């Protein structure tokens, strides 16, 4: 953890255009999606304490930092060493008290004091930089060996996972993480291919997985890339334990938020969004008694979150035109009560 007391005093009472414009047009990992909506959702206080749980290239953090004065504090989490180095350099001289936590965001509760944050932001999934850098093995463009680790210091890459996972567990991951049909057939065929490749003594390549996907879905050739992306997503989420990490981090975020603090979460596919919605729903209930109990016995005062927006916020047509990667984004905002 690094604590850089960087001097920057910015006094604002509303979302400044500079906070948005300062990010656009720079060489960040990607243009932050729904940046203005995220900042508005956080309801930033200039002297507040905030956490960007998905630092990435620092786009959202950069904009949050410009809303803070010299008394404000920004925590940032990322387990990708490249992202930490890149974003720390970007925010030098911009952030006030900028504290980087180079650990998974599931460690939020171990790194941050309870009832200390005014807002927490999540921009889930992988960054455009990770996708565009074929050497990381996140993309099926090119033919570098599959890796798919967010943190390359972790021991289990996609290679090891594919060799060790059972057909049943692989099929379950395809259903859970990517809503795949023909999951068992696909898992069985990929495992057979991995076995052949292991015998050959080489690494599994994207083209190997693509060949299997095309064979299992011969009637969906036009959707081959989309199907392949979902297979990669399912494997990646298992390699990195992503759904469990999201659940653990969101629960910790509720404890870390002050009353009135905001929880802002952006997801890009239905599996992540469902995880966010279902985890948050646990804290929206006032009564936690078993459903079959005829009378409330818990006191009915257990609600800890309320929705700020009844339905998820979607990107505008203009934003989708500017940034096609925004097209599937959904933004949910909650407030600690």
Residue list, annotated binding site for S-adenosyl-L-methionine: 58-60, 78, 105, 123, 130
Known binding residues are: 58-60, 78, 105, 123, 130
> What are φ and ψ of residue 190, in 5° steps?
-65, -40
Helix/strand/coil for 147: coil
How far apart, in whole angstroms, are the C-alpha atoms of residue 95 and residue 9? Answer: 9
Helix (H) or strand (E) holding 86: helix 81-91
CA 306 to chain centre: 21
| CB contact at 8 A, 258 and 275 | no
Structure-block tokens of residue 203: 């690494």
Q: Edge to edge, what strands does the sheet with 2-5 contain?
A: 2-5, 97-101, 73-77, 49-52, 117-123, 257-267, 330-336, 305-307
How far apart, in whole angstroms, are the C-alpha atoms of residue 256 and residue 295? Answer: 32
How far apart, in whole angstroms, are the C-alpha atoms of residue 214 and residue 218? Answer: 6
Q: What is the β-pairing status of strands 330-336 and 49-52?
A: unpaired
Cα distances from 216 to residues 173, 174, 277, in angstroms, run: 17, 14, 32
Helix/strand/coil for 177: helix
Can you state the angle between helices 206-216 and 183-200, rounded to 10 degrees?
A: 140
> What are φ and ψ of residue 309, in 5° steps?
-115, 125
Scanning the structure block, which residue is given the tokens 């399912």?
234
DSSP 32: P
Helix/strand/coil for 332: strand
Helix/strand/coil for 224: helix
């Amino acid at each position: 953890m690094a604590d850089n007391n960087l001097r920057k005093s910015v006094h604002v009472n509303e979302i400044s255009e500079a906070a948005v414009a300062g990010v656009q047009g720079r060489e960040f990992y990607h243009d932050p999606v729904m940046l203005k909506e995220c900042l508005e959702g956080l309801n930033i206080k200039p002297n507040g304490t905030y956490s960007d749980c998905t630092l990435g290239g620092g786009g959202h953090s950069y904009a949050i930092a410009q809303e803070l004065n010299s008394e404000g504090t920004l925590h940032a989490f990322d387990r990708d060493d490249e992202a930490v180095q890149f974003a720390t350099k970007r925010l030098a001289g911009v952030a006030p008290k900028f504290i980087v936590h180079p650990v998974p965001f599931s460690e939020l509760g171990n790194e941050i004091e309870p009832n200390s944050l005014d807002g927490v932001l999540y921009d889930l999934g992988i960054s455009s930089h990770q996708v565009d850098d074929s050497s990381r093995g996140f993309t099926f463009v090119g033919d570098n060996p599959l890796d798919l680790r967010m943190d390359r210091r972790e021991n289990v890459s996609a290679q090891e996972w594919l060799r060790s996972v059972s057909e049943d567990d692989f099929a379950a991951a395809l259903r859970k993480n990517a809503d795949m049909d023909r999951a068992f057939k696909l898992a069985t065929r990929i495992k057979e291919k991995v076995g052949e490749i292991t015998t050959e003594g080489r690494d599994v390549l994207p083209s190997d997985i693509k060949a299997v996907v095309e064979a299992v879905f011969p009637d969906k050739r036009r959707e081959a890339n989309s199907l392949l992306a979902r297979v990669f997503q399912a494997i990646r989420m298992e390699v990195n334990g992503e759904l469990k990490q999201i659940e653990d981090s969101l629960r910790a975020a509720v404890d870390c938020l002050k009353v009135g603090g905001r929880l802002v979460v952006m997801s890009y596919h239905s599996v992540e969004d469902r995880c966010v919605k279902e985890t948050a729903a646990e804290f929206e209930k006032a009564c936690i008694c078993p459903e079959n109990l005829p009378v409330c016995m818990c006191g009915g005062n257990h609600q800890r979150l309320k929705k700020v927006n009844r339905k998820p916020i979607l990107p505008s047509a203009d934003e989708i035109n500017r940034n096609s990667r925004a097209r599937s984004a959904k933004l949910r905002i909650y407030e600690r009560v």
